[in-house]
Amino acid sequence: MSHNAKITCKNCETNFYGHYCPNCKQSSKTGKITWHEMFHYIFHAFSHLDKGIFYTAKEMFLHPGKTIHDYIDGKRVRHFNPLLFLILLGGMASLLFTAFDVGAIQERLNTESIEKINPLFAHKHYTIIGFVILIFLTITDFVFYRKHGYSIPELLVSNAFQIGELLIFLIFMLPFLYFQNYINARYQTNIELRYFILIVFYFYLFWVRHQLYGKIKTDYVLLLKIVLQLILLCVIVQYRIAKPLIDAIPQF
């Protein structure tokens, strides 16, 4: 197609010249959906470090507070959709942990040990777990840090990014958990990497809140609020909400 020819946008019917519609920004190269197009979209979403899921994951690892603030402030074109980020990674974690049967090996060895460490790690419904924690963190963020002016939808986006990033870390730890369970089953040892995962989990949530809500000067009230919030997350969500909810899910 010549770029000198007038094009009618298939989305908003605006007449224009060039690569993109000036009205709705849709590409001029919008044709029939084919297998080639499908694979191109998938490849594009996962392979570009300056845009998409890898870019979001990288920025949420290096600059989580700034990334969330910028996204809420309107700088969104490079980022993966936060709710899809959470759903995709939750589904991937559930699929991988079920496929490798990481939890089952450890449960046969010492189920009570897992429940005492963290009952959430004894299950594989990571999308459900993610949404339980998402709701809790959003509500407590709104209550504890209300003076910062973030709305409930903005805090949902913030926490979807955070939980998605933690799921990436959990997926990264899968080979180590699998090897740990193999060693425990073969040599009757009691190695437990879930302590380390739990420490990273809470440290990351603490770090993000300190970046997002803190200032250069140390705010001891803020630090106390974050610690209290994470203690509530541990006690109320993990032991009183998430575990009974997941235990109620039929096991297949």
Three-state DSSP state, 20:
strand
Output the six-digit token pair for 244: 């009974």
Q: Among all chains, which residue has been given the structure tokens 């699929």?
A: 95
% the chain with pLDDT above 90: 31
Pick 208 or 107 by higher pLDDT. Answer: 208
Four-residue CA torsion sign, 58, 59, 65, 67? negative
Q: What is the pLDDT of residues 202-249, one digit of tens each?
A: 999 999 999 999 875 678 899 999 999 999 988 876 555 555 554 554
Q: Among all chains, which residue has been given the structure tokens 């297998």?
A: 35
Instruction: Report the chain's mean pLDDT, rounded to a whole number.
Output: 78
Residue 119 confidence (pLDDT): 45
Other CB atoms within a 10 A radius of the CB of residue 158 amount to 26
Q: pLDDT band for position 125 (50/70/90)?
A: low
Q: pLDDT band for position 108 (50/70/90)?
A: very low
pLDDT at 192 over 60: yes
How far apart, in whole angstroms, are the C-alpha atoms of residue 192 and residue 177? 8
Residue 81: DSSP 8-state: P
What number is the average pLDDT over the span 104-119? 42
What does pTM read for this prediction?
Answer: 0.73
